[in-house]
Amino acid sequence: MTERIYSTESYAREMTARVLRIDADDRRLLLDRTVFYPGGGGQPHDVGSLWVGDDELEVVRVTQDADGVWHWVAATALPKEGTEVRGELDWVRRHALMRTHTAMHALCGVVWERYRSPVTGGNMKPGEGRLDFDLPDWQADDRAVIEEELNRQLALRRTVEIDFLPREEADRDPSLIRTKVNLLPASIRTVRIVDIVGLDRQADGGTHVSDTGQVGIARIVKVESKGRGFRRIRVAVADDPEPSP
Ligand SMILES: [Zn+2]
């Protein structure tokens, strides 16, 4: 298995790790620990580089399976099993994804507060995301109201905390699963919770900024009707207000 550093330390952008296994056909490496997020919950996988000494292997894709986290590389020569490698994220892209992901959760909280409407789907890329809601009561004027409230909440610099709950405890709190479909397989015994303190608390595996102030200004770029009361809200976050060193 792979130690998932990103799960508890979203700001870790480098690591050293050991190659546990090699899949030469697919050109991918299983590592014993990683900062590379394999994707999930609407957040795309990371990209970046692995270094073996001075040799750089570009990480073009990251996936996970029962064995751990696989790093797909664009390289002809692969290191041997047991080799120590250094990994480094494309941090500009990842930090934009963290800001975008936190903006999405903040929007969940704002929409929930006003309409008690659950999310039915979502997706994101760096700087932009969309969430689908079951929102039969939506009026055209609501766009400006929601955008203003979203930015008011972000500007409060609410802390974003990561908690881990035993499955039984999480199951007793249905509000943690904000999506309509229960996305958590029964095999998952510990549930990771992302808590924007005072605004939104939900089960989630993704990487987030540590407080909502880091998101900066968020704009609702479009609200589309998807029929029968379903609405797709597209949100964009402005360029990095405080690029990390
Ligand atoms: Zn999420």
**212 SS3 class:** helix
Q: Are residues 153 and 209 in the same domain?
A: yes
What is the model's pLDDT at position 171? 81
What is the model's pLDDT at position 239? 82
For the domain that residue 23 is a member of, what is the CATH number?
2.40.30.130
Query: What is the sign of the dihedral through the CA atoms of 23, 27, 33 and 36?
Result: negative
Last residue of a domain, one of 89, 124, 154: 89
* Euclidean distance between CA atoms 186 and 15, whole angstroms: 31
The pTM of this model reads 0.93
Q: Total domain count for the chain?
A: 2
What is the model's pLDDT at position 181? 47
- pLDDT digits 0-9 by tens, 176-189: 766 554 566 777 78
Q: Are residues 155 and 200 in the same domain?
A: yes
User: How far is the centre of ligand 1, averaged over its atoms, from the C-alpha of 211 (Å)?
Assistant: 15
Q: Are residues 66 and 124 in the same domain?
A: no
Q: Is residue 7 part of a domain?
A: yes
User: How far is the centre of ligand 1, averaged over its atoms, from the C-alpha of 55 (Å)?
Assistant: 35
Q: Is residue 244 part of a domain?
A: no
User: How far is the centre of ligand 1, averaged over its atoms, from the C-alpha of 122 (Å)?
Assistant: 9
- pLDDT digits 0-9 by tens, 94-151: 999 999 999 999 999 999 999 988 888 899 999 999 999 999 888 889 999 999 999 9
Residue type, 106: A
User: How far is the centre of ligand 1, averaged over its atoms, from the C-alpha of 41 (Å)?
Assistant: 5
Q: What Å distances lie between residue 73 and 91, 111, 125, 172, CA to CA?
A: 17, 40, 21, 42
What is the model's pLDDT at position 167? 85
From first to last of its 245 residues, what are the pLDDT tens digits of the chain?
A: 999 999 999 999 999 999 999 999 999 999 999 999 999 989 999 999 999 999 999 999 999 999 999 999 998 889 999 999 999 999 999 999 999 999 999 999 999 999 988 888 899 999 999 999 999 888 889 999 999 999 999 999 999 999 999 988 888 887 776 655 456 677 778 889 999 999 999 989 999 999 999 999 999 999 999 888 899 999 999 987 665 55
User: How far is the centre of ligand 1, averaged over its atoms, from the C-alpha of 57 (Å)?
Assistant: 29
Q: Are residues 149 and 102 in the same domain?
A: yes
Q: What Å distances lie between residue 232 and 8, 34, 159, CA to CA?
A: 31, 34, 27
In this structure, are residues 170 and 182 in contact, taking their beta carbons and an 8 Å threshold? no
Q: Are residues 141 and 233 in the same domain?
A: yes
Crossing angle of helices 91-115/142-155, nearest 10°? 120
Domain range for 82: 3-89
User: How far is the centre of ligand 1, averaged over its atoms, from the C-alpha of 168 (Å)?
Assistant: 21
